[in-house]
Amino acid sequence: MKLSDLTPEQWYGRLTARASQQRENAITWWKYINLQQDLVYVARIIAEQDGRFPPLLLPWAELVIESVTERLRLESFLSGERPVDELVKSWNDNDLAVASDEAHKASSVSGLHFLMIGPEGPGGSPMVTTEYCDQVAVELDPRTRQPLVGFKQWSEDFGGTPEDHAVLFIPEVPTVTDRGPGRCRVFELNDKRELEESEPLGEWSRVIAADLSLPSVPFVPMLTNPVRGMGVSDLVQLKPTLDGANQIATNMMAAVEHHAVGRKWIVGATEGDFVDENGKQIPLWKVAMGDVWGIPHPKQEQRGESTPETKVGQFAASDLRNFHESLKTLAQVAASKYGLPPLYMGYSSDNPASAEAIQFSLERLVLRAEKRQLWYGGAWERAGRIQWAILGNDPAEISGMESKWRNAATPTMASKMDAAVKAVGGPVIDQEQAWNDIGYSEATKQAMRERMSRVGAQAAANLRDIDQIPATLPPLPEVNGVAPALRS
């Protein structure tokens, strides 16, 4: 069966199952972010403790994600060298400066996130929202790898009773008689959990469906580590290392209680000597893992034999350095994979690193951030072109649009200023490019242009006033009857 032959009900079932699968995959990785994952390498003695030793989970997953996403700041959309004002306004109207940070983090964690675009947004701009992969699923066109059919589901709580909602977007495919695509059809889930067709999307949906570089439905996938149109979580290769580190950290906490403080021992105690405050017998395994090790005297073999003296003592405390070194080794393995500087993982050498060494240690981290600027920037650009169609324009007009990101290396303002001044004085770049390199916003650059224009106009007026000064000046007065021309 071809995809075009599927009914709306079949599409609903297909994409619902895909959203459930995406949710299961995402939950696996979000548990590592929220420190809710289970221990993988669990020692038997700890597993039998009835939760006495809760796991000590290290926040390395959050560190790996945030170290990159905090360097991602989208500043503007440029067509040529000019900002696309309508898209900059839409970005501000939809408060995407905040929502984009959440979208980048969600995509990095689960490997997949979505942007949803529609008309009638805030401030007269198109509506743009970021959607998690457990609520949105799409079918990709096998030719263009762009979404062909889209689906969104959500739940609303009314008085403690959740109510499920869903909407399905299916574009009308070209026919033999009509070679062009039609408007996108919309099906909503009613109270009887049946699909009802509602008003189709506007004429803009026909425009984006005809553009092979754009999705046919108003959903744009935001992928991390894309492989064959699918995303892969940034935490995949961290998982085994982090699982091992969590186990070592948990064992270390058990060792702190049992070995870092000297264990007491007693020779001559019996099982009946170990009871709780209620007089109930304490299980022997709890005694073995407790603060006191008790060993009874051997059974008397001859009558009248005297009972040996009961002895009490304490073992020397253990050194936990082996745990520390193991954790440091695993931290180095994780840092080498993700390009994290030593200080990010909490360890460093005795000799402080130079400024050049610190900058060099950030190189791979910067490259990782720039790669994500490429991936995520493409999603924002496609979303921008869909907005352009919603505004009644041809998306081909801004096909060369690019997203302008803040420098992922996060140089200081002083270093950016110094480089810009040298490049302008070179001369290598002009003043406008220097403003871009420094990172001024479009509003700031426009205000500077207006101020410089006013200053230039005033300077031109001053030059005109100089030109109007009379060419002949009045003669100088005589001094002591001598004319000026005769004085020397």
**pLDDT tens digits for range 230-286:** 999 999 999 999 999 998 888 888 777 666 566 676 776 666 666 777 777 766 545
Supply 193's token pair: 């959990």
Checking if the pLDDT of 470 tops 60, the result is no
Q: Quick: pLDDT tens for 399-431.
A: 889 999 988 887 667 777 777 787 787 777 887
CA dist list (Å): 355 to 27, 358, 368, 417: 40, 5, 21, 19
φ/ψ of residue 110, rounded to 5: -95, -15
Lowest-pLDDT choice from 5-19, 365-379, 464-478:
464-478
Q: What pLDDT does residue 344 have?
A: 86
| 345 CB-near residues (< 8 Å, 6+ apart) | 60, 63, 331, 332, 334, 335
Q: What pLDDT does residue 312 have?
A: 73
Is the alpha carbon torsion for 119, 125, 127, 130 positive or negative?
positive
Checking if the pLDDT of 450 tops 50, the result is yes
- Percent helix, strand, coil in the chain, to 5, is 45, 20, 35
Checking if the pLDDT of 46 tops 50, the result is yes
Q: Tell me the average pLDDT of the chain.
A: 83
Count of beta carbons in the 10 Å neighbourhood of residue 380: 25
Top mean pLDDT of 106-110, 211-215, 343-347 is at 106-110
pLDDT more than 70, % of the chain:
78
Q: Which residue has the tokens 């085994």?
A: 240
Checking if the pLDDT of 60 tops 50, the result is yes
Task: Provide the pLDDT confidence category of residue 204 given band limits of 50, 70 and 90.
Answer: very high
pTM: 0.79
